[in-house]
Chain A
Amino acid sequence: MGNNAEIIVIGGGIIGCAISYYLAKRGADVICLEGSDHFGNGGSSRNGGGVRQSGRDPRELPLVMYGIRNLWPFLSEELDVDCEYHQDGNLRLGKTKKHEEILTGLTERAVKAGLDVKMIDGDEVRRINPYLSEEVTCASWCPTDGHANPLTTTLGFYKAARKMGVHFLSGEKVIEMRKVKGVLRKVICASGNIYEGETIVLAAGYESRAIAGTVGIDIPMQPAMLEALVTEAEPPMFDQMLGTAEADFYGHQTKHGSFVFGGSSGLEGFTKDNGTPVCYAKTAPCICRGIMKYFPDLAEAKIVRTWAGWMDRCVDGVPVLGKVEEVPGLILACGFTGHGFGIAPGAADQLAELITTGSTQVDLSALRYDRFRAKI
């Protein structure tokens, strides 16, 4: 196989794999390059598995709603892998007056954008999920939200796209993009290999910034480390996705029976990670204390594993998608800011449509690169 294709996708996470898949489905010829040794090795396989609309910025809401209506319900069948998709609602929990204000604000904005979400009180929360402690006084409730398995979904997109003829290479770290006669054309790797395409999709998470920098584009985003843990298998307790007003804790019970919870210590950005996504000693115990306040019954559940990963935190909290005026041939698909999993199928499908037809069903204009401005 050669090093030329219609489309070169940089990044083999869920975004890159799903774009490759939806492009191949539309008949395109694709090469997908992953810098690490494993596909789906960044946030794609380290996240909490949320497939939710509530709590999202109105600018990205139409895209995730599109995915939840049209793609997620059929994904397991389409990819021939168990994505473990559950659409049993999302509770975003609050304990204080301040939390209630945050949740009410988020809910009002989402309702305006056409989402079925409402505020409920503590008693109603416990009718939906009887395991929640009395400390919970309110929540936003979105019945069409849910969760899925990030590992099988990400690798499912990879598997299905590979089967359709997408040329995947791992260990192929991109260090530079290069224009030819004013149009983006070449992708240069640390191995010395050079790939050429008519369209180049940049979906390399936080590493996209450095790569985009080689063609004079600067995306205001930074890596930020997040941590998560998983318990041993427990008897089935509840099927909802959970989050909190402060966004400090989230999780769900998986099909396997284990609970996957993500959280934070408040020391993020200042932990000692030595450049690797290694857990910080204070974080997992802090997440455990948080969980036990919400779910006293889980105090005896055993933690079997903890892990960490970096998200690509964009300055305004929503992804950067689509064409870039200054660099014809470039399509950006990065900056998902830690909530890229649930939105991935919708975003990837629409970007594949943009690349193959020139237009999209969902308006992506609010997520374009040209939105970044200085404050004065």
Chain B
Amino acid sequence: MNAVNDRSRDIGPFIPGTDDDILICRCEEITKGEIRKAVHDGMWTMTEIRRYLRTGMGLCQGQTCAKLVKAIVAKELGISPAELEPATSRVPMRPIEMRIFANELADKKEDGQDGK
């Protein structure tokens, strides 16, 4: 994207809401209120929100809550969710045991094939 984003732009004050205690990221137990507050702390991108609060950093890696978080952040900033780039998806796609992840060389020796 690389559009200039002035972090001093006035987005108004943080106004507490009645639904602020709703859990949005269930893996890491982050509430709507925490996400809204983080926006007022200056976290204006999905990547910054994730790094600051851990939303989407749990077992599901944001596959459940990413859209919800994005909608909350966009609303707080007064912009369209389409303007927010999603946080980077990381390898592996599913949590995988260290002994299995580590095993690519051993498998190669056994069956003589790459990548199995």
Contacts and interface: CB of A to CB of B under 8 A. Distances in A.
Contacts of A288: 98-99, 101-102
Contacts, number: 124
A151 B91 contact: no
A124 B43 CA distance: 44
Nearest to A289: B102
A288 B97 CA distance: 9
Interface stretch (A301-309, A317-325, A363-371): A301-309
Nearest to A159: B41
B7 A302 contact: no
A169 B61 contact: no
Contacts of A152: 51-52
Interface of A is mostly: mixed
Nearest to B42: A162
B112 interface: no
A301 B98 contact: yes
Contacts of A306: 90-92
B103 interface: yes
Contacts of B43: 155, 159
Contact of A37 (B1, B52, B61, B105): B1
Contacts of A162: 7-8, 41-42
Interface string B48-62: 100110100111010
A291 B90 contact: no
Contacts of B45: 37-38, 170
Nearest to A282: B104
A256 B97 CA distance: 18
Contact of B91 (A39, A190, A284, A300): A284
B97 A301 contact: yes
B90 A307 contact: yes
A45 B45 CA distance: 14
Interface of B: 1-8, 41-45, 47-48, 51-52, 54, 57-59, 61, 85, 88, 90-92, 95-99, 101-105
12 contacts: A35-B2, A37-B45, A39-B42, A155-B51, A189-B4, A193-B4, A288-B101, A291-B98, A292-B98, A299-B98, A302-B95, A303-B97
Interface of A: 1, 35-41, 45, 151-152, 154-155, 158-159, 162, 167-173, 189-191, 193, 231-232, 256, 279, 282, 284-285, 288-289, 291-292, 298-307
